[in-house]
Structure 1
Amino acid sequence: MNPLISIIVPIYKVEKYLEKCVESLLSQEYSNIEIFLVNDGSPDNCGSICNHFAQIDNRVIVIHKENGGLSDARNAALSLVKGEYITFIDSDDFVESTYISNLFNLIHKYQSDIAVSLFKFVIEGERQIVYQEEGKDMKFSRLEALNTMFYQDTFDNNATAKLYHSALFKNIRFPKGLLYEDLLTTYKLMLLAERGVAFSDVKTYNYLLREDSIEGSPFSDKKMKSLIFAIEDFEKIKLEMPDLEKSINCRILSLSLHLLFETEKYSNDERVIFLIVKKYRFKVLKDQKARRKARIAAIISYFGLESLRFLYKFGKSRNHS
């Protein structure tokens, strides 16, 4: 008998997307699953949709709670899961029927603690292109996986599109009240993955690119607070694991640059984040393994903020042409 796998879906103001998400989970080839739909105080019709699915399939468990954010919603389900393995799905995304079986087969093949796959990005309103991939897989040691993730090389730090042994969550929960929950949590799980991390490049997770996502929201005090918290957290890990220092420096610079371009020109937020960029840029610049775009941005930063902002706008225009 295949082990029970727990799927956790935090839900808030996504009634437009929720049915497609849940239906994709109910149609999984791997059927021994429990699906936690966590209605995080959503003011729309999400609660009713959740209840409907619980009535038609006994694998669906609904949690209704007051709004507490993404981390709080995931944590509410983590306290109740019975599965030997856990995966997270965002409620506006959907997965292929082979999503769970692909990840579980990786765990089984490589006897690893975590399995990782990739996203297929879907732009809202555009026709989805369906294609078959060959699929390559491999195993990373714990250190290799962490460096790969911090360098944003083969895969990134998203909590989704991964399968975790439930024992890894014994003393770990997502940080409440902060953004970048995945960035602050996934690496801690990988630190505990003594049996390593299995990887497949088959894209069975469909990530919806929405205009109104958190990622596309304006800069805020919460984003600044989360950035500072993340940097302090990573600096502690660098002291404990020096082999991660270079890749962590690259991840800090990438996050800082990402947020820098969201700040208002000549604002205090811009000044503070640019100081962070200046602190890490030379370390990244001399790191041959660092992402090419991070090293280019590090060079451009020596010419000032205006040059950096021009580079960012030029890059966006190229991506959308």
Structure 2
Amino acid sequence: MPNIFLKPAVSVIVPVYRVDKYLTECLESIVNQTLTNIEIIIVDEGDDDRCRKIIDYYQSIDCRIVAPHKKNGGYGASCNLGISMAKGEFIAIVESDDVLAPNMYEELYDLAIETGADVVKGPYYEYFSNGTLRDCSYRRKLKTSVPQKKCFSAVDYGEILEIHASLWAAIYRTSYMREKNIRFIQAKGGAYVDVGFRIDTLTNTNKIVWYDKPFYLYRVDAEGSTTNNFRLAPMIKRWSEVHQAHKDQQFNEYFYPFLIKDEYLNTIGWLKNIKCSEEEIREISTNLQKLPIETIKKSPVLTGNQKNEIFACRKDPEGFLIKMNRYRRLKRAYADFDKFINFFGSQSVRYSFFCLAVIFLLASLNISEEGGFITSLTGIILGLVFIFSLCARVVQKLLSRAKEKIVNVYFQN
């Protein structure tokens, strides 16, 4: 049993809102951590009696749990309440439909103490309800691009700013959070409030530690998950709030290129896949106009095409929106053609046509003259299809290169 008189090593904050289907699995993974000296702050932000019953049960059997109720305050407000209540040396955040490896906080805490880190962050697994686990996309890159298990800053290793926010795959020193007044943006029912939190936690310290070991299972197919239901409007709103919060702060010149790219990917980057209103594109344009032109031009992490799109959106948002809508239609048409090419260019289909062509041509030698002609003609046609399938991949590559060039010219300002 944990000693309730000791200061907790980690305060684990769990905002809960209508996740009764997954909540028990989540809480089980927290209460069974090998680091027993933890505080568990479960913030019930909804009015779901099923969630409340689960929370009440765990609170009755585990003295480490406190469970304040903040009705309909939103994710950011719930996390902020947890941060203000936290008594632990470090703070951690867990989404209430996710699962933790049992040794997560023990290993992260030990590394934080060993290195003196303000933030210890690591990769995570994408977790599917059928039990499948998949490595997060950026793990391989950071394994070679940032120091391992040693303190560094985003000034020296800006790559840390390019990754998924994944604020829950980390622990944060409580004194650091309070000294720098790092909090979540509080937006009622607001999605993507982790945008500003990630920027603040990673740009205010030179004591970040990367630990290349995934402990956190991030559920990607939960009902209502934003992972599979991206919404552009709240993402734009979050970036507007980030700009407002930092309007009097001059970001370090080393941070800016990475932050600009992140904003590009999460706003303009999505316009190639989803619709956007004129009001939304004007807000994106307004935000982009707050960014230094020279920094955009000289950014080593933005491609030429990405820079062109940023400048086009800044200059003429309505015209840019028209172009993006056209681009999306062209992209759908290209995708249909791409499926056709992929079918004929696949190795199995190619060999099937080749074998059928040979079979028909050989069969034509042993059939009557009239039947042999039809059979051999079929074999020739199949042979031509086989030749086409050999060329399909080449055609696909040429079209892909042409598409990139067209897009690059298309968004020149």
Letter in 1 for 2:167: A
Letter in 2 for 1:82: K
| CA distance in structure 2 between the aligned counterparts of 1:117 and 1:166, rounded to whole angstroms | 18
Q: 1:251 to 1:85 in 2, by over 3 A?
A: same
Return the TM-score normalized by structure 1: 0.80
> Cα offset for 1:47?
0.7
> Is 1:12 aligned with 2:48?
no
Query: How many pairs align?
Result: 307
> Is 1:59 aligned with 2:64?
yes
Query: CA offsets per residue over residues 159-211 of structure 1, 9 Å max, x none?
Result: 211111101222232111143222112322333334x1111121100000135
Q: Which of 184, 196, 199 does residue 174 from structure 1 map onto?
A: 184
Assess if the C-alpha contact under 8 Å between 2:257 and 2:295 holds in 1: yes
1:224 aligns to what?
A: 236
Query: CA offsets per residue over residues 119-173 of structure 1, 9 Å max, x none?
Result: 10012x3332499x9x973334233477223333xxx333211111101222232
Letter in 1 for 2:132: Q
Query: CA offsets per residue over residues 250-287 of structure 1, 9 Å max, x none?
Result: 1121121355356536x314643674798679966753
| CA distance in structure 2 between the aligned counterparts of 1:311 and 1:21, rounded to whole angstroms | 43
> Cα offset for 1:92?
0.6
> Cα offset for 1:75?
1.4
| CA distance in structure 2 between the aligned counterparts of 1:150 and 1:130, rounded to whole angstroms | 22
| CA distance in structure 1 between the aligned counterparts of 2:82 and 2:172, rounded to whole angstroms | 14
Q: 1:130 to 1:246 in 2, by over 3 A?
A: closer
Assess if the C-alpha contact under 8 Å between 2:44 and 2:67 holds in 1: yes
Q: Which of 190, 197, 216 does residue 185 from structure 1 map onto?
A: 197
What is the RMSD of the two structures over their aligned residues, measured on CA atoms?
3.6
1:160 aligns to what?
A: 168
Return the TM-score normalized by structure 2: 0.64
| CA distance in structure 2 between the aligned counterparts of 1:169 and 1:105, rounded to whole angstroms | 19
Q: 1:284 to 1:62 in 2, by over 3 A?
A: same
2:94 aligns to what?
A: 89
Q: 1:61 to 1:270 in 2, by over 3 A?
A: closer
| CA distance in structure 2 between the aligned counterparts of 1:103 and 1:128, rounded to whole angstroms | 24
> Cα offset for 1:61?
1.3
SS at match of 1:309: helix
Query: CA offsets per residue over residues 68-127 of structure 1, 9 Å max, x none?
Result: 10011111222211101110000010110111012112212322111001110012x333
Query: CA offsets per residue over residues 45-64 of structure 1, 9 Å max, x none?
Result: 11110010011111111112
Query: CA offsets per residue over residues 15-41 of structure 1, 9 Å max, x none?
Result: 000000000011111111111111112
Gapped runs of 5+ residues in structure 1? none
More helix by share: 2
Q: 1:151 to 1:262 in 2, by over 3 A?
A: same
| CA distance in structure 2 between the aligned counterparts of 1:176 and 1:103, rounded to whole angstroms | 28
Assess if the C-alpha contact under 8 Å between 1:96 and 1:205 holds in 2: yes
Q: 1:278 to 1:312 in 2, by over 3 A?
A: farther
What is the 5 A alignment of 1:273-288? 275=285, 287-288=299-300
Q: Which of 99, 103, 118 does residue 108 from structure 2 map onto?
A: 103
Query: CA offsets per residue over residues 202-250 of structure 1, 9 Å max, x none?
Result: 110000013522344464654432232234446654x242222211211
| CA distance in structure 2 between the aligned counterparts of 1:145 and 1:274, rounded to whole angstroms | 29
Assess if the C-alpha contact under 8 Å between 2:120 and 2:171 holds in 1: yes
What is the 5 A alignment of 1:84-163? 84-123=89-128, 125-129=129-133, 137-144=148-155, 147-152=158-163, 156-163=164-171
Assess if the C-alpha contact under 8 Å between 1:219 and 1:259 holds in 2: no
SS at match of 1:243: coil
Which range moved further: 46-55 or 57-66?
57-66
SS at match of 1:202: coil
Q: 1:269 to 1:227 in 2, by over 3 A?
A: farther
| CA distance in structure 1 between the aligned counterparts of 2:63 and 2:237, rounded to whole angstroms | 41
Identity, % of aligned positions: 22
1:206 aligns to what?
A: 217
1:289 aligns to what?
A: 301
| CA distance in structure 2 between the aligned counterparts of 1:44 and 1:94, rounded to whole angstroms | 22
The higher radius of gyration belongs to 2
Assess if the C-alpha contact under 8 Å between 1:112 and 1:198 holds in 2: yes
More strand by share: 1
| CA distance in structure 2 between the aligned counterparts of 1:130 and 1:148, rounded to whole angstroms | 21
Q: 1:167 to 1:277 in 2, by over 3 A?
A: closer
SS at match of 1:201: coil
| CA distance in structure 2 between the aligned counterparts of 1:140 and 1:161, rounded to whole angstroms | 17
| CA distance in structure 2 between the aligned counterparts of 1:250 and 1:224, rounded to whole angstroms | 14
SS at match of 2:69: strand
